[in-house]
Structure 1
Amino acid sequence: MFKEIDDLSDSLVLIVEDSALTQKVLGACLDGLCRVDAVDSAEEAINYCLKSPPDLILMDWILGGMTGLEACKKIQAMDELNDIPIIFVTSNTNENQQELCWDAGAVDFLGKPIVARTLVNRVRTHLKYKRQTDILKQYSFFDGLTEVFNRRYFDMECKRLFRQNLRQQQCLAVVMLDIDYFKLFNDEYGHLQGDDALKEVAKVAVKMVNRPLDSVFRYGGEEFAVLLPNTSDDGALKIAQSIVHAVRGLEIPHGKSEFDVVTVSAGVAVGKYGVYDNVEELIQKADEGLYMAKSNGRDQAFLFNEN
């Protein structure tokens, strides 16, 4: 797999360097290999990464304000950022400084003055490793049957988004979906037909969720979950209702349901700044909304509202 990764043109390298000349030199060396952006300080670098994580960071050791070493430690301490490889660029490569680089969590270091070929080869190698890691993670986070994200990834992503949205004082909506009378469907039509129904429901959910940061997960069995960052009560309920209506529109026969076709019920909860103390509570409220949708007759969405 490593040798097959040749095109790195869409990979992003962030240069953290307070010298405009050095920024230009590093950028020129990497021109044609990958995308490059640059910031002048460690503080800017952390803010940049929180908004749009790069694939690799080239970090100057000495910066005005926070040092590159301190920034590296901060980035490594953040769950949402600690998979970004950091290469230090420093004029001092003595043994003690190398030890400090490794202890801070860096993957490599480059000495100044910059040797263009060494820079390109080091960056290419670490970008390939990062791409390979991302691909392996992607495979391990997908449900093999439905081809949506799995429960393992939901648990990780939900916690990450909850912290991120809390920090940015934004909303995070959770939608829990459950196929109505699915056990009866399997008993009547068999598990192969049941698998086909699961795949069709997953496709519909993905189609109804349009924004790049919105995501669909197989939560377990016949239950799915949807994460909608920065989404209001009305917006989340509208998306949940669109999934409910679209699944009914598939018209998959279900003779053991009062609707005669496969349907889903949905529970919606929206975590607003200061409302929920933890992500587990938010998920629990979405589950309560799902219970209410079932109790009210199924084939519908219910918004759990703290107000």
Structure 2
Amino acid sequence: MRTKPQKQRVLIVDDKKSNLKILSDILRDEVDVILAQDGEQGIRKAAEYQPDLILLDVVMPGIDGFEVISRLKHDANTCAIPVIFITSLNDVSHEEQGLLLGACDYINKPFHAAIVLARIKLHLQLARQRLLLEQLANIDPLTTVANRRKYEEILSQEWRAASRKQSLVSLVMLDVDNFKLYNDFYGHAAGDRVLQTVAKTLSAELKRPFDFIARYGGEEFVIILPETPPQASWQMIENCRQAIFNLQIPHQPTQGVLTISAGGCTVRAAAADSAEQALKQADDMLYEAKRQGKNRVLWSQDPTLED
């Protein structure tokens, strides 16, 4: 059953209730509307709700629209949200100032419903397209899991968060055993299908919303398990290994079935030198798993860590 697409959000920032009502009435059937009655409230709601578009009045008591957009554009959490100024000012210099500060358009008062709706639909469509491009830039096209670029971004975020909280992070390096032999015997198309199956199976095993998997390159995958102790992390990846084995995908060159090997490392982020060092430990464990015969999960951890 196809789910109904989620409505986009538009934040309207205006100190006059009459303007808020008019714009809400125009937009209510098209988007989810969020209202703010002054600049400070608008900045807070922009950060909280992450709207797809902001309609911002220029003239308001307290901080005006120019100050609001300046603060929005200097905040990493809101700088990418497109802003349309709404104004009764018929002054080219004001329009130029707003555009230089980062506004994408102007809507003049009094409002003409058809023009307001047409302009907002245009900018919402552009926002959808931009979001799609950003998503595509972070997805591995073959397996549809995250790519290495997205992995590096998420690792940096999780490492900073774990360092602040002095919490545990588990990193995993994982790859398909004897993949070159499989590719050479069955062909690259079959190899691609296997990588897709492996990625889908691993993703299904990582059930928590904050677990993260990405294709690192070739037949290698990386997994981040935030705030997860060593034994629990090992068990999760062991479940992944068993799930791949249970697929019983024939691997004729080895006279067996397709398997994976994994190496993991659990560290307390504040105590470790760097995320790269932790990943190197995981990679070393993967190498050792290969050396010991493959189809296994080996783990490295600080002996002072408690499960």
Range class of TM-score, shorter chain: 0.7 to 0.9
Shift of 1:198: 1.0
Q: How does 1:67-86 map to 2 (within 5 A)?
A: 67-86=64-83
**Equivalent position to 2:275, from 274, 282, 306:** 282
SS of aligned partner of 1:106: coil
Normalising by the residue count of structure 1, what TM-score does the alignment of the two structures yield?
0.76
**Equivalent position to 1:295, from 288, 293, 300:** 288
CA 36–202 in structure 1, closer or farther in 2 if over 3 Å, else same: same
Shift of 1:195: 1.9
Aligned to 1:233: 229
The alignment status of 1:210 with 2:207, answered yes or no, reads yes
**Equivalent position to 1:33, from 20, 30, 33:** 30
Q: How does 1:103-114 map to 2 (within 5 A)?
A: 103-114=100-111
SS of aligned partner of 1:133: helix
Aligned partners of 1:112 and 1:180: how far apart in 2?
Answer: 66
8 A Cα contact 1:175 1:236, kept in partner: no
Aligned to 1:4: none
Residues 184-213 of structure 1: CA distance to partner in whole angstroms, max 9, x if unpaired?
443454433322221111111221233556
Aligned to 2:88: 91
Aligned partners of 2:55 and 2:42: how far apart in 1?
Answer: 10
8 A Cα contact 2:66 2:101, kept in partner: yes
SS of aligned partner of 1:57: strand
Bigger-Rg structure (1/2): 2
SS of aligned partner of 2:175: strand
- Paired positions, count: 296
**Equivalent position to 2:131, from 129, 134, 137:** 134
Shift of 1:107: 0.7
8 A Cα contact 2:288 2:298, kept in partner: no
**Equivalent position to 1:221, from 218, 227, 238:** 218
CA 210–188 in structure 1, closer or farther in 2 if over 3 Å, else same: same
The alignment status of 1:199 with 2:192, answered yes or no, reads no
8 A Cα contact 1:88 1:106, kept in partner: yes
Unpaired stretches in structure 2, ≥5 consecutive residues: none
Aligned partners of 1:170 and 1:94: how far apart in 2?
Answer: 54
Aligned partners of 2:71 and 2:161: how far apart in 1?
Answer: 16
Unpaired stretches in structure 1, ≥5 consecutive residues: 1-6
SS of aligned partner of 1:149: coil
**Equivalent position to 1:149, from 135, 146, 150:** 146
8 A Cα contact 2:170 2:264, kept in partner: no
8 A Cα contact 1:286 1:304, kept in partner: no
The percentage of counterpart residues that share the same residue type is: 30
CA 295–140 in structure 1, closer or farther in 2 if over 3 Å, else same: same
**Equivalent position to 1:16, from 9, 13, 35:** 13
Shift of 1:156: 4.1
The alignment status of 1:251 with 2:244, answered yes or no, reads no
Shift of 1:265: 0.7
**Structure 1 range deviating more: 108-117 or 120-129:** 108-117
Aligned partners of 1:80 and 1:241: how far apart in 2?
Answer: 37
SS of aligned partner of 2:70: helix
CA 168–183 in structure 1, closer or farther in 2 if over 3 Å, else same: same
SS of aligned partner of 2:250: coil
Aligned partners of 2:48 and 2:233: how far apart in 1?
Answer: 23
Aligned partners of 1:44 and 1:220: how far apart in 2?
Answer: 45
8 A Cα contact 2:58 2:86, kept in partner: yes
